[in-house]
Amino acid sequence: MNVDGKPYRSIWLNADGISIDVIDQTRLPHEFEILNLQTLDDSCAAIRDMVVRGAPLIGATAAYGFYLAMRQNASDSAMVSAYEALYATRPTAVNLRWALDRMQAALKPVATHKRAASALDEASAIAELDIEINQGIGRHGLELIQDIATGKQPGAAVNILTHCNAGWLATVDWGTATAPIYMAHEAGIPLHVWVDETRPRNQGASLTAWELGHHGVPHSLIVDNVGGHLMQHGMVDLCLVGSDRTTRSGDVCNKIGTYLKALAAFDNKVPFYVCLPSTTIDWSISDGLQNIPIEQRDSAEVSEIKGRLPDGEIGSVAITPQDTAVVNYAFDVTPARLVTGLITESGVVKASEESLSRAFPGHLSTL
């Protein structure tokens, strides 16, 4: 998507034809900086430190990280170590495992001296597939938005609430929850997006607001507690969120706070849709509450807040009494019963095992 009129992806092959470039998301919205990844360690650090984040982009970065590892050492044992190192970076987004499994399966039969080249091809194919999938999600979600727009007064904006950043920065391009938004905007449908700030890391305030602003999509930033009030007052037509891992029965794990939005949407009969690529479905599990590992992150993300300081530097300030005990769960699970539908590349499906397995045949039989 566009940054100052110039199209960008969130990850790409550097002009040297060897190393990988990513947008450093820890510097946004204050600075647009590109970080160059040259090694396996660089790639692990980029995922762990959230230079890149968002389930699909974590998967794509892991794939490119695997390629960079193969450039360093393409032996069988190096493949195992690269898999383990990348897999350990973040626990919740299942796209990481999906991408690593795909890389490993593609490279195992390849002779060692050809593995680096094959790994680059495979990682690039994963990145291209992500873009194609997100465009599919966009087209299906666009139909939903069109239907809602048709039911409103001519010219009235469709109000969409989104949480965290499930935008193009969280994927290779287009985003999941934002793909329908960008397509509807381009189709001329009047839109307005309520952007949850998404404490503690404020991905909504720093990333989603930045993305939508650069693309000219009308939006307002709200603190995380406002959504319920807006829904009670008929100010939200539709919730669109992403997912880090969705079970085969349709339980949705996403950024902490998503569950509370789903509860408020349910109580106020606001449609609550989850936009996700099939690569985010974990076919091996059914019960999201019991089986999805929920990442717990550094307490400083809660006890401090990051931003541009008066001296122009990007830094953090403390917002709690010193030594306050902090717990920082990064994700929660929204049970399938609260989800109106899943917007996937294969269409809009019910959040149920039956509907998911019909939309994506073949997965359950391989378990």
Determine the straight-line distance between the first and last CA of the chain, rounded to whole angstroms. 37
Nearest to 184 by CA among 223, 217, 232, 208: 217
Q: Does 254 bind ligand MRU (CB under 6 A)?
A: yes
Stretch that binds ligand MRU, among 30-38, 60-68, 237-245, 317-325 (CB under 6 A): 237-245
The reply on whether position 244 binds ligand MRU by CB under 6 A is yes
Contact flag: residue 203 with ligand MRU (CB under 6 A): yes
Choose among 197, 307, 304, 306: nearest CA to 256: 197
Q: Does 255 bind ligand MRU (CB under 6 A)?
A: yes
* Closest approach of ligand MRU to the CB of residue 355, in Å: 20
Answer yes or no: 244 catalytic: yes
Choose, by CB under 6 A, the member of 89, 206, 243, 355 that binds ligand MRU. 243
171 lies in the site for ligand MRU, by CB under 6 A: yes
Catalytic option among 237, 244, 251, 332: 244
Question: What are the start-end ranges of the E strands in the chain?
Answer: 2-3, 6-7, 11-13, 20-23, 34-37, 158-162, 191-196, 219-222, 238-241, 245-247, 252-255, 272-275, 281-282, 304-308, 314-318, 331-334, 341-344, 347-349
* In contact, 24 and 35? CB cutoff 8 Å: yes
Work out whether 56 is an interface residue with ligand MRU (CB under 6 A): yes
Nearer to ligand MRU, 248 or 255 (CB): 255
Indicate the residue among 68 and 252 with the shorter CB distance to ligand MRU.
Answer: 252
245 forms part of the interface with ligand MRU (CB under 6 A):
no
Site stretch for ligand MRU (CB under 6 A), options 28-36, 169-177, 216-224, 284-292: 169-177
Q: Determine the 3-state secondary structure of 315 from DSSP.
A: strand
Whole-angstrom Cα distance, residue 322 to residue 2?
A: 42
Query: How is residue 88 written in tokens?
Result: 């350990």
Shortest separation between residue 310's beta carbon and ligand MRU, angstroms: 27
Which chain residues interact with ligand MRU by CB under 6 A?
Answer: 53-56, 93, 164, 166, 170-171, 175-176, 203, 242-244, 254-255, 330
Q: Catalytic residue positions?
A: 244
